[in-house]
Amino acid sequence: MSSSHSRRSLGISQYSEQREFDSLFRDFNEMLQFAVREITFTTEAATDLEEAEEQEKLNQLDVIMRDYNDLENRINFQRTALNTLKIKVDAVHKFASIF
């Protein structure tokens, strides 16, 4: 296989990988926005329940809030891991393009 052919394939592959990474980042951002919206909504509901002295419902909402916070943390952790992977893949492509 000629080096120009392999470089051309590499470019196509790299472009395809970039599109996949972009798609994954969009998905992570959408999930994160959902979690943050729900945290905001849950916080507002908790304030209302606290004012109404609805302790049992407030306790239930506290559990839900913790779940959303855990979800937000997991999404951020996975997005960071994905970004690290992207950086490493980009470095491999950059190194491979030298040869």
Spans of all domains in the chain = 3-98
Domain 3-98 = CATH 1.10.760: no
Q: Residue 8, exposed/middle/buried by CB under 10 A (0-12, 13-18, 19+)? A: exposed
Tell me phi and psi for residue 53, to 5 degrees. 55, 45
51, 29 Cβ separation under 8 angstroms: no
19, 62 Cβ separation under 8 angstroms: no
Task: Give me the pLDDT at residue 49, please.
Answer: 92
- pTM of the shown model: 0.73
Task: Give me the pLDDT at residue 64, please.
Answer: 94
Q: Which two tokens stand for residue 27?
A: 């998905």
What DSSP element (H or E) covers 70?
helix 55-98
Task: Give me the pLDDT at residue 93, please.
Answer: 83
Distance CA 49, CA 31 (A): 27
pLDDT in tens, the chain (99 residues): 444 444 445 455 777 888 999 999 999 999 999 999 999 999 999 999 999 999 999 999 999 999 999 999 999 999 999 999 999 988 888 887 776
Distance CA 46, CA 59 (A): 9
